[in-house]
Amino acid sequence: MSGSSFGKAFQITTFGESHGPAIGVVIQGCPPGLPIDQDLIQKSLDKRKPGDGPASTKRKEPDTPLILSGTFEGKTTGTPIMIMIKNRDAKSSSYEDIASVFRPGHGDYTYHQKFGVRDYRGGGRASARETAARVAAGAVAQLVLDPYQIKIESYTVGLGGIRANIFDAKIIEKNPFRCPDMEAALKMEKKIETIKNQGDSLGGVVEIKAINVPAGIGDPVFDKLDADIAKAMMSIGAVKAVEIGAGIGAAEMTGFENNDQLTQDGFASNHSGGILAGISNGDDIIVRVHVKPIPSILKPQKTLTDTGQPTTISTKGRHDICAIPRINKVCESMLALVLTDHILRQKTNR
Amino acid sequence: MSGSSFGKAFQITTFGESHGPAIGVVIQGCPPGLPIDQDLIQKSLDKRKPGDGPASTKRKEPDTPLILSGTFEGKTTGTPIMIMIKNRDAKSSSYEDIASVFRPGHGDYTYHQKFGVRDYRGGGRASARETAARVAAGAVAQLVLDPYQIKIESYTVGLGGIRANIFDAKIIEKNPFRCPDMEAALKMEKKIETIKNQGDSLGGVVEIKAINVPAGIGDPVFDKLDADIAKAMMSIGAVKAVEIGAGIGAAEMTGFENNDQLTQDGFASNHSGGILAGISNGDDIIVRVHVKPIPSILKPQKTLTDTGQPTTISTKGRHDICAIPRINKVCESMLALVLTDHILRQKTNR
Amino acid sequence: MSGSSFGKAFQITTFGESHGPAIGVVIQGCPPGLPIDQDLIQKSLDKRKPGDGPASTKRKEPDTPLILSGTFEGKTTGTPIMIMIKNRDAKSSSYEDIASVFRPGHGDYTYHQKFGVRDYRGGGRASARETAARVAAGAVAQLVLDPYQIKIESYTVGLGGIRANIFDAKIIEKNPFRCPDMEAALKMEKKIETIKNQGDSLGGVVEIKAINVPAGIGDPVFDKLDADIAKAMMSIGAVKAVEIGAGIGAAEMTGFENNDQLTQDGFASNHSGGILAGISNGDDIIVRVHVKPIPSILKPQKTLTDTGQPTTISTKGRHDICAIPRINKVCESMLALVLTDHILRQKTNR
Amino acid sequence: MSGSSFGKAFQITTFGESHGPAIGVVIQGCPPGLPIDQDLIQKSLDKRKPGDGPASTKRKEPDTPLILSGTFEGKTTGTPIMIMIKNRDAKSSSYEDIASVFRPGHGDYTYHQKFGVRDYRGGGRASARETAARVAAGAVAQLVLDPYQIKIESYTVGLGGIRANIFDAKIIEKNPFRCPDMEAALKMEKKIETIKNQGDSLGGVVEIKAINVPAGIGDPVFDKLDADIAKAMMSIGAVKAVEIGAGIGAAEMTGFENNDQLTQDGFASNHSGGILAGISNGDDIIVRVHVKPIPSILKPQKTLTDTGQPTTISTKGRHDICAIPRINKVCESMLALVLTDHILRQKTNR
């Protein structure tokens, strides 16, 4: 079944395993005539690359995107765009000890249950490495959004239990966590150091925002804009919760408090997160995702072998301590993909 | 575009408006030979009917499901099953005053932006009435789940800010909110009375659980089980947040705390909510949805007419004060639909 | 699986069995604001109704289409349009003798093999009656084609081995076979009488033409316009061959003879049938379908019971002698559906 | 839109242009545990390679298939399989003179109309080169068919107006046209030489047969087995007509002649081509496709430039004189893809 495809009018299909020869994506439905080059994709990929920050893996991938189809003389042609990224820095040997052991918190056990066989090297298909293909596709999607002036950004509003209390846009690029609250960012850094020394890991909360999204996109009653966003976000490996607008807060307000009243200057508030009845209302799209801690930790954990024998495991591979801030770019890309899909879909209504 | 269809192997397509002649659903991919009758569908529909509880609308619909295709001599035949529910108690006249006014918190404005025209009567296609079709389909889906002994239930863990602090299964059926904590249920009742008198409304939190789901279902990397569940839940009108397992709590734990260690007696905990890397692990599936307050309130609100003139609105139709407990059955049905779809999909892997 | 759905941007889903309570269709993706009413659908259905001609069944169905969703104040709203036709004149009793016998040339045996159970009454889901739902949907599709001045018509170019040798448009409506050659039509009539008296049946050839189709529609490399037309036509029960443009004749020409040279007055010929590389070229779309004889015949045939016992069968139900001319309208409708789908799809490229 | 994807349970997505860096395919839904290697794919690709026969192009491509994902230790893993074939022998310069001229019989004009831009080199996306990706996918599909002993073969029953009058299976591999009638094959050879000297080209007719297909596959009423086969075949560039079983001949028989009567030894004939009501009946699947002559010819033809100026064109690139026998393997592959898809789909009914 087509579980590795996403979108209807703008549809991506990703392929590849963490330690196979390559990963990549085929994009269908991209309109013709858009300016595209390797640099554009590269810039997006760089934002998801392991940084020098304290939370990042030491695995280094140049992640050079090769555009192998669908373009001609620097423009999209309307035919499928295939972008491939070769896997280079693959130390499969460091994963051999997990060939027959299920790592807690990972897909090892469930892939084994589903398929009977699995590529255990680095998580195989379940590796976060697959998200590089999504980011490459997101960069192409953004080309469709550009004429609308749609901009998507994300920032970290929680990490290891520490919450951002203020929003200062200028601060986001000035700390390795993309946190809009410098005081919180400093606490996050400290927390990560402590947890790292304990051989443990952390999770966090990312907010993603899209501005200038035209009113009228989204396709009820199932392909609602918020429903597709929820799926897009929850399909990212570590995400365990998705909120739209006021989200969990909405459940504790009264109708009068939560409703966004309409005025001639626009909506008086934005608890809806820019989406009403599954259709954009022209206001900012606001999404929040809650990310679980990286499951690969040094701390020994109880587990089973694939023959059912109890054992303990201590994961020594090169791993991030926290999926943030690398996951932020992935979230932005998934939002770009959903918005692009629905903007194209809306054209069939006119 | 096919935004009113959901699922791939077991696919439903709903149709109908709140005050049109009928609503209903076409189900494709239901295996042949399953015992089906009107009573079975009726029982499910009854659980979503406006009750006599303090939170419910006074609109009464017999909601008799007519099975008009896909069955023969009391069994499914493998061909599309169409189930229709006629709309009877439709007082369109009570909606005429909103024909040209956008109700805050509703889809009026966004449907207008998307389609240019809209059936304003009772919310038209955006009405919660559409969910009756989902419930009918969910009852059919459950027939596929029965041989696996899969059972799905839901209960209310929050309403108007009041949280259930204990889980006593026996209590669920004994209060109008399906709350597993009687003390909390009593507070909820009181709160609803107060809010009702203020012409306002409330939201809440519902937890949905599925037991005996076999390990191995879900179709990464996009049609992950949790991703499809997130979409399913977020496609229900009032839902603003979806959590899987530990959900937002996972983001505040360390990896060691959050990981579910494997033992010969099963997983030592269930923070994953029964899903790892988008595939079921055999443990209980746990989902939580956060429901916004009913937007239709008596309290006057600022809004605009469809020509952009400011006005105020006070919604006098017959409405629930809170989507809970009626939404609970809808959530159960959506979970049944996702599980059925993925159980059938997994058959193609063997 | 979703085998009863057709189209992507303009998608129909049909349901219903020959002798169940009703048949019908749900249409998704129909743009809003189009004028629609029951008469429009009725007129199309009337063209597929058993006529008074010599080739037609005596089963009479009023075939009144009920539009139960997706419209408001006489216009489409952009939401799913459900059209239902009740089955009235269903004499199930006349089919009881075939409950356990497989009729040659019918789907009895294959439905039994596929599903294990089947609704044997009048062919159940495999009945040509299902095509009424397609015709209803085709009438809605035509609303999308109208602004382009796209007109679709069909005529009979062969029946029982008798071929039309001339094309005189005026003649088409003047004979019961929609044959553009009156001399041929008269021979067809005679042939039908003879065959009818022998308790046998006939097949034929229908040509379908669409004019004013804009250049540029079709979605290579699989959803080519001709590929989707071939599927659409072959999905009609009795069709055994589909030709586009010169069709089988193209295989016997040289490249120079077959190529349609381009001139400033347009293409110098139309062997392509208006489709090059799967995309419309602005010329007339020309399709020919070859229809097998009606399999239900009075003449005794050898067959098996569902327990594998040999027996003979002589079908006494009310049946057409030839699917022509009733199938002609179905072919037109399927072409309308394909064109509409691709016209809407092409909007996403701009 | 997803026009470059085919299949639902076993789904392929092809990408690539004739003179871009690479072409290839992503296969979704392939069951895990199947033995797969490069040789297997290579052997299929070799059958579609330009041969040394008189009808073939002189362009030589090694066509080495690289399997870049979805396999581990020589077996499929259930995840997407990406197979890529690099383009090496691409002489783009030989196509520069057609950059602004529409070649008759090609997609140049229609791609231009559809997308506004086009990769003119060697036909770009519309090149027959894309079919190599289908053949690679077909080789993987065959792995699913092997346990059923399903075998697919094709042979040429017409070329340039010369028809095979006898069927001698031994002869097929003994002539460059895969014709089962040696006398006809010799005439075909002569005809090709003559036509080649005239700077012209030829078409032909291919019959494709699948044996051991289990009864019960196909998904009415739209995804009928024959409907999907018709689409699959018509999606191959040069195909202008598709017949199933008796095909066009069925239209000239009576019902009694055409019906395949059932006996305890099986069906008494196979006019149905192994498909009744869109579902396989266990008999051989028989398909015939009619292939137009290669449009690229040396003989000068009238055409237009992309600014509408009249000109003449004489195509000097390296081209086949006839798509047969290379297209035969493509037809076999498409049939393998359809059968595999429906065999997997049928599993969801049990």
* pLDDT value of position D1: 83
Query: What mean pLDDT value characterizes chain A?
Result: 94
Please state, as a whole number, how many other Cβ atoms lie within 10 Å of the Cβ of residue D130: 27
Q: How far are the Cα atoms of B182, B329, D98 from residue B323, in angstroms, in the given order?
A: 19, 11, 65
Nearest neighbour of A17 by CB, restricted to D8, D22, D69: D69
The pLDDT profile of chain C, 350 residues, written as one tens digit per residue, is 899 999 999 999 999 999 999 999 999 999 999 999 899 999 999 999 876 677 666 666 678 999 999 999 999 999 999 999 999 865 656 677 788 999 999 999 999 999 999 899 889 999 999 999 999 999 999 999 999 999 999 999 999 999 999 999 999 999 999 999 999 999 999 999 999 999 999 999 999 999 999 999 999 999 999 999 999 999 999 999 999 999 999 999 999 999 999 999 999 999 999 999 999 999 999 999 999 999 999 999 999 999 999 999 998 766 789 999 999 999 999 999 999 999 999 999 98
Residue D82 DSSP class: E
Beta partners for B288? B207, B243
Residue A45 CB burial class (10 angstroms; 0-12, 13-18, ≥19): buried
Per-residue confidence band for B19, with pLDDT thresholds at 50, 70 and 90: very high
Rounded to whole angstroms, the Cα distance separating A24 from A67 reads 10
Residue C49 DSSP class: S
Residue pair D256/D198 in contact by the 8 Å Cβ criterion: no
Rounded to whole angstroms, the Cα distance separating D43 from D40 reads 5
* pLDDT value of position C60: 63
- Helix runs in chain A, H state only: 38-48, 108-115, 131-145, 182-197, 225-234, 255-258, 326-346
Interface subset of B 191-220, CB within 8 angstroms of D: 220
What percentage of chain B exceeds 90 in pLDDT?
88
CB contact under 8 A, B256 and A226: no
* pLDDT value of position D292: 98
Residue D32 touches chain B, beta carbons under 8 Å = yes
Least Cα separation, residue C213 to chain B (angstroms)? 21
A250 Cα distance to chain centroid = 24
Residue A346 touches chain D, beta carbons under 8 Å = no
SS (H, E, C) C257-285: HHCCCEECCEECCCCCCCEECCEECCCCE
Per-residue confidence band for B315, with pLDDT thresholds at 50, 70 and 90: confident
Residue D209 pLDDT greater than 70, yes or no = yes
Q: How far are the Cα atoms of A70, B170, D49 from residue D122, in angstroms, in the given order?
A: 14, 72, 17
Nearest 10 degrees: CA dihedral of B289, B290, B292, B293? 100
Residue A325 DSSP class: T
The total of structural domains in chain B comes to 1
pLDDT in tens, A46-56: 999 876 677 66
CB contact under 8 A, C32 and A344: no
* Domain CATH code at residue B337: 3.60.150.10
Residue D115 touches chain A, beta carbons under 8 Å = yes
Please state, as a whole number, how many other Cβ atoms lie within 10 Å of the Cβ of residue B16: 31
CB contact under 8 A, A202 and B255: yes
* pLDDT value of position B41: 96
Closest chain B residue by Cα to residue C342: B1
CB contact under 8 A, C105 and D255: yes
Query: What mean pLDDT value characterizes chain B?
Result: 94
Determine which of D26, D34, D77, D348 to mutate to test the interface with B (most B C-beta atoms within 10 Å): D348
Residue D79 DSSP class: S
Query: What mean pLDDT value characterizes chain D?
Result: 94
Rounded to whole angstroms, the Cα distance separating C333 from C167 reads 22
Residue C346 touches chain B, beta carbons under 8 Å = no
* pLDDT value of position D350: 81
Residue pair A141/A339 in contact by the 8 Å Cβ criterion: yes
Least Cα separation, residue B258 to chain A (angstroms)? 7
Residue B90 pLDDT greater than 60, yes or no = no
Residue D8 touches chain B, beta carbons under 8 Å = yes
Nearest 10 degrees: CA dihedral of D107, D113, D118, D123? 0
* pLDDT value of position C173: 94
B195 Cα distance to chain centroid = 24
Q: Among residues A319, A254, A244, which one has the least CA distance to residue A277?
A: A244
Residue D154 touches chain C, beta carbons under 8 Å = no
Q: Among residues D104, C284, D121, which one has the least CA distance to residue A79?
A: D121
* Helix (H) / strand (E) containing D65: strand D65-67
Nearest neighbour of C9 by CB, restricted to B1, B68, B75: B1
Least Cα separation, residue A276 to chain B (angstroms)? 5
- How would DSSP label each residue in B10-27? SEEEEEE-TTSSEEEEEE
What percentage of chain D exceeds 70 in pLDDT?
95
- Residue D290, Ramachandran bin (φ over 0: left; ψ between -120 and 50: alpha; else beta): beta
Residue B319 pLDDT greater than 80, yes or no = no
CB contact under 8 A, C15 and B80: yes
What's the whole-number mean pLDDT along residues D198-202?
A: 97
Phi/psi at D287 (5° precision): -130, 140
Q: Which chains touch B (3 or more CB pairs under 8 A)?
A: A, C, D
B325 preceded by cis ω (within 30°)? Answer: yes
* pLDDT value of position D58: 61
Residue A29 touches chain C, beta carbons under 8 Å = yes
Q: CA angle, B324 as apex, B322 and B327 as ends, to 5°?
A: 120
Q: Identify the residue whose tokens are 């066989």.
A: A117
- If one compares C218 and B123, the residue with the highest pLDDT of the two is C218
Residue pair B144/B214 in contact by the 8 Å Cβ criterion: no
Least Cα separation, residue D15 to chain C (angstroms)? 9
pLDDT in tens, D210-220: 999 999 999 99
Q: At what angle do helices D225-234 and C225-234 cross, to 10 degrees?
A: 160
Residue A337 pLDDT greater than 60, yes or no = yes
User: Which residues have C-beta within 8 Å of that of residue C260, sequence separation ≥ 6?
Assistant: C267, C268, C269, C270, C271, C272, C283, D104, D105
Q: Which residues in chain B are closer than 8 Å to C26, comparing Cβ atoms?
A: 4, 13, 15, 26
What the block records as the tokens of C11 is 């998608």
Q: Identify the residue whose tokens are 């209807």.
A: A8
User: Which residues have C-beta within 8 Å of that of residue B134, sequence separation ≥ 6?
Assistant: B12, B14, B25, B330, B333, B334, B337
Least Cα separation, residue B152 to chain C (angstroms)? 24
Residue pair C235/D219 in contact by the 8 Å Cβ criterion: no
Q: Which chains touch A (3 or more CB pairs under 8 A)?
A: B, C, D
Q: Which residues in chain D are closer than 8 Å to B31, comparing Cβ atoms?
A: 348-350
Residue B309 pLDDT greater than 60, yes or no = yes
User: Which residues have C-beta within 8 Å of that of residue D173, sequence separation ≥ 6?
Assistant: none
CB contact under 8 A, A33 and D116: yes
Beta partners for D207? D155, D288
CB contact under 8 A, D158 and C252: yes
Per-residue confidence band for A62, with pLDDT thresholds at 50, 70 and 90: confident
Residue A259 pLDDT greater than 80, yes or no = yes
* pLDDT value of position B346: 98
**D98 is in which domain, residue-wise?**
2-349
What's the whole-number mean pLDDT along residues A200-225?
A: 98
What's the whole-number mean pLDDT along residues A177-198?
A: 97
Question: Buried (b) or exposed (e) across A271-303, using 16+ Cβ within 10 A?
Answer: bbbbbbbbbbbbbbbbbbbbbbbbbbbbbebeb
Radius of gyration from C-alpha coordinates of chain C = 21
Residue pair D285/D336 in contact by the 8 Å Cβ criterion: no
Residue B124 touches chain D, beta carbons under 8 Å = no
* Reported pTM: 0.97
Per-residue confidence band for D90, with pLDDT thresholds at 50, 70 and 90: low
> What is the number of CB-based contacts under 8 A between chain A and chain B?
370
Beta partners for D76? D71
* pLDDT value of position C315: 82
Please state, as a whole number, how many other Cβ atoms lie within 10 Å of the Cβ of residue A39: 9
- Helix runs in chain D, H state only: 38-48, 108-115, 131-145, 182-197, 225-234, 255-258, 326-346
Q: Among residues D249, D219, D213, which one has the least CA distance to residue D231?
A: D219
pLDDT in tens, B245-255: 999 999 999 99
Of the listed ranges A83-92, C112-121, D181-190, D331-340, the least confidently predicted one is A83-92
CB contact under 8 A, D28 and A22: no
Q: Which chains touch D (3 or more CB pairs under 8 A)?
A: A, B, C
